[in-house]
Amino acid sequence: MPQPLVIIITLISNLFFGGKLPAFLSTDSRPVIDPIIEQVSRMTLEEKIRQTLVCGYEGKDPDTVLKVLKSCSNIIYSGSNLEGLTEKEIFDHNQQIHLQDPLSWIMVDQEGGKVARIKDGSPSPRKMAEKNTVSYWGGQHGKLLKGLDFDVNLAPVADITKNNSAVGDRSFSDDPNLNGQMAVEYLRALQDQGIIGVVKHLPGHGRVDYDTHRESGYLNYSWEEISNFDLIPFIKIVEGGAKIVMVGHIIIPELDSSPASISPLVIEKLRFTLPSGNDLVFISDSLSMKGVGLPEEQAAIEAIKAGEDMILLQGAKEDEIFSKILTLYQDGTLDVSKLDRSVSRILKVKTMFAKE
């Protein structure tokens, strides 16, 4: 660098930047290391796999859930886990989980109405569908869950209710734009309280004829029709701040005979269609549901191959599934570089919402 230019830059540095060069004038050619990538590089294969698994468990014994943490870094409560427990007992359970695994996410379904694992008197999303009301209840759910030491609420539902009783009043509206607007308001109020929302159920359950908890469900429309209707609320809510999206066991016959949750083609299209799709964390719906059409262990492997970042297991075989997944990464059947990308996405969101 010519000497006069060095003198000028030094003067500017001293006058305006306290003697430190701003990044754009720095001559330091060392690469900037992304702290998330660096963190992933230091993790063992077992630790990475645990980050991608979300597991349920049976009963209410805290010792049971602590054993589950050996295979899964993330826990989901069902209604039966919480029934009869006081708020103090729930808080104490969650504290134990976070003490054992500080990176753990504790999840619950607290949509309101009939899907509320903690009974708080909140109305169904359909009855919340007015801006001030939906923001109020999003905030109330956030305060409740934050106070009990939860991390993630598997809500809101962005499906557009048409003819499907499985969704029904779990959806805000049968209008895609209004549904998206309400979902955004709910999500923002929820996340303002420090609780992460998970938007569900891609690519849209509202026009599916059957309940995928019990059987296969088909979305019998072209991808163009789905993009211009069913995906509208999901696009709006991702633009509004969603970081995690849930993929349901919905079959799109035009694209694939497999459910979306285990379809590489559908997940690829969703990542391409949603804003910043490659940065979103994709999580499967529960792989114990009948609609996936496979035993849970096989479904877990197919979901990973398809591109899910996290898989939801509720069949009480998490240790066996963990061991099988570990073996498949070790022998090269599953791609470790894809695992690293998934863990990076997950840790980025965990860091964003880290407890103070």
What pLDDT is stored for residue 16 in this prediction?
A: 46
User: From CA 36, how far away is CA 343, in angstroms rounded?
Assistant: 9
Q: Does residue 152 register a pLDDT over 60?
A: yes
Crossing angle (nearest 10°) for helices 232-239 and 176-192: 30
CA angle 81, 85, 88 (to 5 degrees): 120
Partners of 293 in the β-ladder: none
User: From CA 203, how far away is CA 90, in angstroms rounded?
Assistant: 33
Report pTM: 0.89
Phi, psi of 79 (to 5 degrees): -60, -35
The H helix count followed by the E strand count for the chain is: 15, 12
Pairing of strands 74-76, 105-108: parallel
Q: Does residue 20 register a pLDDT over 60?
A: no
Domain ranges of the chain: 1-30, 33-352
Counting residues of the chain whose pLDDT is more than 90, the rounded percentage is: 74
What pLDDT is stored for residue 164 in this prediction?
A: 57
Phi, psi of 32 (to 5 degrees): -80, 125
User: From CA 28, how far away is CA 21, in angstroms rounded?
Assistant: 10
What pLDDT is stored for residue 341 in this prediction?
A: 98
Radius of gyration of the chain (CA): 22
What pLDDT is stored for residue 13 in this prediction?
A: 45
Crossing angle (nearest 10°) for helices 264-273 and 296-306: 40
What pLDDT is stored for residue 43 in this prediction?
A: 98
Q: Does residue 339 register a pLDDT over 80?
A: yes
Pairing of strands 115-116, 110-112: antiparallel
User: What tokens appear for 142 in the block?
Assistant: 């956030």
Rounded mean pLDDT of the chain?
89
Tell me the fold of 33-352.
Answer: TIM Barrel (3.20.20)
Q: Exposure pattern of 66-88 as b/e (b: 16+ CB <10 Å)?
A: bebbebbbbbbbeeebbeeeeee
Catalytic positions are 213, 285
27 band by pLDDT with thresholds 50, 70 and 90:
low
The alpha helices in 198-263, defined as continuous H runs, are 223-227, 232-239
Q: Does residue 134 register a pLDDT over 50?
A: yes
What pLDDT is stored for residue 242 in this prediction?
A: 98
> What is the arithmetic mean of pLDDT over 96-122?
93
Q: What is the pLDDT of residues 28-83, one digit of tens each?
A: 556 677 999 999 999 999 999 999 999 999 888 888 888 999 999 999 999 899 99
Q: Is the peptide bond before 22 cis (omega within 30 degrees of 0)?
A: no
Kindly write down the DSSP assignment for every residue of 306-348, as one continuous string.
Answer: HT-SEEEE-SS-HHHHHHHHHHHHHTTSS-HHHHHHHHHHHHH
What pLDDT is stored for residue 8 in this prediction?
A: 44
> What is the arithmetic mean of pLDDT over 17-30?
52
Q: Does residue 9 register a pLDDT over 50?
A: no
Q: Does residue 15 register a pLDDT over 50?
A: no
- Across 156-160, 290-294, 333-337, the highest mean pLDDT is recorded for 333-337
> What is the arithmetic mean of pLDDT over 306-317?
92
pLDDT-wise least confident of 38-52, 57-71, 92-106, 246-260: 57-71
Q: Helix, strand, coil shares of the chain as percentages rounded to 5?
A: 50, 10, 40
User: Which H helix or E strand runs over 127?
Assistant: helix 125-128
pLDDT-wise least confident of 27-31, 129-133, 217-221, 300-304: 27-31
